[in-house]
Structure 1
Amino acid sequence: MESTGRPREDILVVSTSNRGEKITRPLSSVGVETSYFQIEKMSDVPELYQTIQNHKPEVVIIDSFSFGGASVALSCLVSSTPYVIRVRGDPVREHIGWVRTHIKNREFLRALKQFPRYIGTKLTFLLTNNYIFVSDYLKDRYDVNGDRSVVINTPCFMLDEASDGAGGHLNLNEDVKDHVVLAVMNMNYPAKVAGLQDALDPISTVLESRGDTTMLIAGDGPYYEEITEQCENLEGDIRTLGYVSNIEALFERADVFVHFSYLDGYPSTILEAYASKTAVLANDAVGMSEQIVDGKTGYLVDLDESAEITDRLNILLRTPEKREEFAKAGYERVHKINTTEAIGEKFHSYLSRIRG
């Protein structure tokens, strides 16, 4: 358990990961300080309850489901403390996806372990009235209506950080080609990885035919080896890099950023591409459909249409004017919608309604 911030603030942020900063930093940017409690294990739950009881926050925000979300919901209900769930992903689909994957791999014990988490997630939804969704897609997906829920997008922290110009100092082989196609992937979720896997064949076709382009895939997780093996069996220069800490340098080097996924509520990597003035190509699904204005800030394609993927990628690679047009529009869009301060104002406005 990690607890930071002044102990008697009105707003308590609870998270099971370090992503609580997506809440605390925007609020801090508009002058609203918060307390923070990170749940790392089940044994932290009694301390969480005592924290809520002793500090008596006006509102609690939780950005996790499963046992973390259920713990906060029950603790707040017992203490009559208003609370809000921030829905940043699709937890039900995540659980179901893991169960199917484990059963497919004959990992039946691991599949069984998903059921308590699934029940915790469903219990959290059942007990909760107040929601912050990071996208309209997620709000529509869970069909939560009324004035107690709101859509507040994810902030793009890359806008807050000055570039160090490290794009020319990447730890890559000298034979990286003239053009670079970049993908940054969370390889922990089968439905996210499946989108990239479905797109690799048509991307490979483009790379092979052009001969002047390298594809870089950054990211790590249980599916890294599977992605790497697939890439090794394809034509064209495709390289898997694993985890990369200096992700800004990769965006600076890229001509086109691609993101293909079947499970993304509102991917931060699209925002980072916009902030880096990198042209974007993604599939027309889940959260990407509302992040990208097709033909203006990037291209949206159907993953079932290989010819469409190759056509749009070829256009971007051979037309610097189109890349610049998309880059400029995306940069303007992320500055309009996803600054830390803009998100902080929306958080503050909504929480004022909950507390009032």
Structure 2
Amino acid sequence: MNNSCNILLVTAHRPSKTAGPVETVSGSDAIILDNSSNFLIKYVFFVKKLFTKFYQSDYDVIVVNGMNLIGLISVLVGQITSTPVIVRIGGNIWLRSRERMNQYWNERSPLRLMKYILRFVISRVVQSTVAGFITVSGDLRQKTIKNTNISDSCVKVVRTPVQQDLYASEYLSGSLPCIEANKTFLLTVSNFKFPAKYEGVVKILDDVVPLLKEREDLVYVIAGGGRYLPALEQYVEKINTDNIRLLGYVENIKEIYACGDIFVYVSYNDGYPNVMLEAAAAGLPRIANTACGLPEQVEDGVDGILVDSDWEEGALREVVESLVNDPERASKMGGSAKKRVLTNNNKQKIGRDFHNTVEEILENC
């Protein structure tokens, strides 16, 4: 590979997913915004860092993670320094913006509504001036082409890496609510900041609750925080079973994966969910629906099972029960899932893919 392309990556979100891989290839660097700082101070230092980087080194391209204010600043600096800008997108930001604007309109929250309208305008400015886009899945690539009207040759896919050593831990502390002897643990980890992910867990519950009531040896563990967590807590309270453990936000998430036996994930708004990579790195068989980028993460019947997003009642329960009743098959699928992410989602490979893709966009766009 030709490593002559020097990339300056800008990110304020999950730097391990972007900055880590990029920095594995020589000649590239990253600026990571400090989100703990005061808003004004954060962006003043960001602008200073950007110009300092260009003063110290020559960069061929700026890759910015997102199309918010850091995207706009990166585009302006790119124009001043005659440096092309590529935007990396990790989720369906267009759907997310519409959901938030509708939410704040219905809540009669004008200040929050104006904030998202401003974000929407900024994103339109950014997407009209950049050289291209990098997305995390083929599904998101198609959504990006549709929402930006950019040439499809200027939108490429680079997967996200997984921190393999973090989620492949084999030990348990014994202190978690999900540690019980002679139980099979069905696990979901999600971010209940988003309504489509809350709706996904509700749909899982609707289908597997009858199974949970029938089998005392099966426990459903749900981990994750966010603004829709209270609604989920209320939903679970109405279910007459003791076999659901709703943990909320968990700091040491690797132990949750370590105590799981089967991972199930249903979502209707995702790019390339990190939790699916994490579950695979922990060696769990994965059950997922066919929406968004999820089918790109599972080889159906080999390292997991895909269920149609509009499944008929009982279809998900049937799949879950089949793996519960066949632990040998479940274990084999989990091993295949782990092998898949160790091969395809390690930091070094993603770093090489990232550089190759940036060079391809610069050559063609």
Fold shared by both chains (TM-score > 0.5): yes
CA distance in structure 2 between the aligned counterparts of 1:251 and 1:173, rounded to whole angstroms: 10
Quote the RMSD (CA, aligned, Å): 2.4
Classify 1:33/1:81 alpha carbon distance in 2 versus 1 (closer, same or farther; 3 Å): closer
Residue 249 of structure 1: how far off its partner (Å): 1.4
Query: 2:226 is matched by which residue type in structure 1?
Result: G
Q: Residue 208 of structure 1 is aligned with which of 195, 199, 213?
A: 213
Q: Deviations over 1:30-73 (max 9, x none)?
A: 44551314164355445444443443233212112222222212
Residue 179 of structure 1: how far off its partner (Å): 0.8
Aligned to 1:61: 63
Q: Check the 8 A contact 2:172/2:255 in 1, yes or no.
A: yes
CA distance in structure 1 between the aligned counterparts of 2:318 and 2:274, rounded to whole angstroms: 25
Structure 1 segments unaligned to the other structure (5+ residues): 1-8
Q: Residue 177 of structure 2 is aligned with which of 161, 172, 181?
A: 172
CA distance in structure 2 between the aligned counterparts of 1:289 and 1:354, rounded to whole angstroms: 25
Q: How does 1:164-313 map to 2 (within 5 A)?
A: 164-172=169-177, 178-236=183-241, 237-304=243-310, 305-313=312-320
CA distance in structure 1 between the aligned counterparts of 2:255 and 2:170, rounded to whole angstroms: 7
Query: 1:95 is matched by which residue type in structure 2?
Result: S
Instruction: After superposing the two structures, state which structure 1 stretch, 92-101 or 47-56, moved more.
Output: 47-56
Residue 326 of structure 1: how far off its partner (Å): 1.4
Aligned to 2:23: 28
Q: Check the 8 A contact 1:195/1:262 in 2, yes or no.
A: yes
Q: Deviations over 1:284-335 (max 9, x none)?
A: 1001021112222211113432311111111111111220231122122212
Residue 79 of structure 1: how far off its partner (Å): 2.4
Q: Deviations over 1:90-133 (max 9, x none)?
A: 11111111122333444454334321111112222122122111
Q: Residue 139 of structure 2 is aligned with which of 137, 140, 143?
A: 137
Aligned to 1:15: 11
SS across alignment from 1:13: strand
Residue 168 of structure 1: how far off its partner (Å): 4.9
Percent sequence identity over matched residues? 27
SS across alignment from 2:314: helix
Query: 2:63 is matched by which residue type in structure 1?
Result: I
Aligned to 1:96: 98
SS across alignment from 1:211: coil
Residue 204 of structure 1: how far off its partner (Å): 1.3
Q: Check the 8 A contact 1:15/1:37 in 2, yes or no.
A: yes
CA distance in structure 2 between the aligned counterparts of 1:80 and 1:255, rounded to whole angstroms: 52
Instruction: After superposing the two structures, state which structure 1 stretch, 54-63 or 40-49, moved more.
Output: 40-49
Residue 165 of structure 1: how far off its partner (Å): 3.5
TM-score normalised over the length of structure 1: 0.89
Q: Check the 8 A contact 1:219/1:243 in 2, yes or no.
A: yes
CA distance in structure 2 between the aligned counterparts of 1:245 and 1:36, rounded to whole angstroms: 26
Classify 1:177/1:294 alpha carbon distance in 2 versus 1 (closer, same or farther; 3 Å): same
CA distance in structure 2 between the aligned counterparts of 1:255 and 1:354, rounded to whole angstroms: 41
Q: Residue 352 of structure 2 is aligned with which of 318, 323, 345?
A: 345
Query: 1:123 is matched by which residue type in structure 2?
Result: V
Q: Check the 8 A contact 1:199/1:303 in 2, yes or no.
A: no
SS across alignment from 1:86: strand
Query: 1:221 is matched by which residue type in structure 2?
Result: G
